[in-house]
């Protein structure tokens, strides 16, 4: 019967099962975990993210064996790994390429969740755990970016840490505490090394486990957004529209793994710098606190958020203040808020409009950069669409998603370029589109004519 606890009783596996639920865990999360049978290629990226995590941990262990977290020796130790340690160049390039590929697969994994509504009830906690993983990845990447102790590592860390000084009252002390000194120095390198190697990976692994447990508790979403648990079941209580994750999807994912490893190996062996995007050329120059590079920018996966930071100027705060006032008026006159919230929300927006003109624009740049990530946590409550999947939404919703994706990519490119009046204007427009996409989602996600959602998932063998 489904749900019975069958345990091996003979051999080594039987000895283990009597002391540890190995077979039980395998059945619950692999061979007897039923996933929708209409997964497509978008569902490769979750398992690929897990694969890259393993690559990063293994290569990181070997790098730590020869790396020196010392301001006078760090850069030379990286050069020693590249030139003297047997296969050290390969391990280092695998780790640096893995950092960028991690964000490639995670961004695509998040995009799939956005397309198919994988953050909707009952998967809110799955999404929150996933976003917490994303935040940890950003912290891990930032801490690791300093460790080669090259010019861009040093000055990039200096710029980013200095952003915290824009926070009112506690900012200067906070940035000093993060650095451990008045400038990025050996103390900063040591604490970033400790966080990168020990603290954040432990949190990251715990969040990944929680993410998977939460997913398997409520079941996987699918391109149709139909709950297979609520559909018809066979005589043993198993969903007819589901198939066991193992062996079907464990083998299915091997196709994605093979394709990924081909691309990964091609980058590692033929283009590890990727034109200066994966490994910036200035980072092959030792850190020099007396020589500032002509253009300082973070690594590519941070550049969309960096563009939003630079977009907030003193003049642009007038635009944001006007938008806040218009939003307050619209909420009060035509909003769907009821009771006291119809007064409270417009008042909050009016207060924000005033503060935008009172507090320095640098602070609001930090708020825009941080808020562009934090707002993703609230996606389950911002989307009020009657259907989950983009398949059954109005066609113009797809155009909105397309505009959002193009905007994110353009912001990413602008973040790599030196500032200019034209690029700054483009960044400001992109920031308004990015934030407007989410802040206005409670309104636009309900509009339009929605297609009827089938009672069972649509699937054709291939």
Residue numbering of the annotated binding site: 95, 109, 196, 211, 216
* Chain center to CA of 359: 29
Question: Can you list the alpha helix ranges (DSSP code H) found in 219-302?
Answer: 250-270
Q: HSE-up of 247 (CA within 13 Å, CB side)?
A: 1
Rounded CA separation 74/70 (Å)? 5
Do 136 and 203 form a contact (C-beta atoms < 8 A)? yes
Q: How long a stretch of residues is the chain? A: 462
Helix-, strand-, coil-residue percentages of the chain, each rounded to 5: 70, 0, 30
Do 103 and 109 form a contact (C-beta atoms < 8 A)? no
Binding site feature residues for heme b:
95, 109, 196, 211
Binding site feature residues for a ubiquinone:
216
Rounded CA separation 369/309 (Å)? 5
Do 299 and 276 form a contact (C-beta atoms < 8 A)? no
Cis peptide preceding 122, ω within 30 of 0: yes
**N- to C-terminal Cα separation, the chain:** 31
Beta bridge partners of 150: 286
Q: Which residue has the tokens 């707002």?
A: 375
């Amino acid at each position: 019967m489904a749900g019975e606890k069958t345990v091996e009783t003979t051999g080594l596996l039987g000895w283990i099962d009597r002391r540890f639920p190995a077979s039980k865990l395998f059945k619950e999360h692999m061979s007897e975990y039923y996933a929708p049978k209409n997964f497509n290629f978008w569902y490769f990226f979750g398992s690929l993210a897990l694969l890259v995590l393993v690559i990063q941990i293994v290569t990181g262990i070997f790098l730590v064996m020869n790396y020196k977290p010392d301001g006078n020796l760090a850069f030379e130790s990286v050069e020693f790994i590249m030139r003297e340690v047997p296969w050290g160049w390969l391990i280092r390039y695998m780790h640096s390429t893995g950092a960028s590929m991690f964000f490639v697969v995670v961004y695509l994994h998040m995009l799939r969740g956005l397309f198919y509504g994988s953050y909707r009830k009952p998967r809110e906690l799955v999404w929150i755990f996933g976003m917490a993983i994303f935040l940890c990845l950003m912290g891990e990447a930032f801490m690791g970016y300093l460790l080669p102790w090259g010019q861009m590592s040093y000055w990039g860390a200096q710029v980013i840490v200095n952003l915290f000084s824009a926070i009112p009252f506690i900012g200067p002390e906070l940035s000093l505490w993060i650095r451990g000194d008045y400038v990025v120095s050996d103390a900063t390198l040591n604490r970033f090394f400790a966080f990168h190697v020990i603290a954040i990976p432990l949190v990251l692994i715990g969040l990944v486990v929680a993410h998977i447990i939460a997913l398997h508790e409520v079941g996987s979403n699918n391109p149709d957004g139909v709950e297979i648990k609520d559909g018809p079941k066979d005589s043993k209580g198993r969903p007819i529209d589901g198939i066991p994750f193992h062996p079907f999807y464990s083998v299915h994912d091997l196709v994605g793994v093979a394709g990924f490893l081909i691309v990964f190996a091609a980058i590692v062996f033929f283009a590890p710098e990727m034109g200066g995007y994966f490994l910036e050329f200035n980072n092959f120059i030792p850190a020099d606190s007396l020589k500032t590079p002509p253009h300082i920018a973070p690594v590519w996966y941070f550049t969309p958020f960096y563009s939003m930071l630079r977009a907030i100027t003193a003049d642009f705060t007038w635009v944001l203040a006007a938008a806040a006032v218009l939003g307050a008026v619209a909420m009060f006159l035509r909003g769907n808020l009821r009771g006291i919230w119809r007064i409270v929300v417009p008042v909050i927006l009016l207060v924000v409009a005033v503060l935008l003109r009172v507090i320095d624009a640098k602070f609001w740049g930090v708020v825009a950069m941080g808020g562009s990530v934090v707002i993703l946590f609230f996606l389950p409550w911002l989307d009020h669409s009657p259907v989950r999947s983009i398949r059954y939404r109005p066609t113009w919703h797809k155009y909105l998603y397309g505009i959002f994706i193009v905007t994110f990519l353009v912001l990413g490119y602008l973040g790599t370029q030196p500032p200019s009046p034209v690029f700054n204007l483009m960044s400001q427009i992109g920031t308004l589109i990015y934030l407007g996409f989410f802040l206005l989602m409670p309104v636009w996600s309900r509009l339009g004519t929605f297609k009827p959602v089938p009672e069972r998932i649509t699937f054709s063998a291939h």
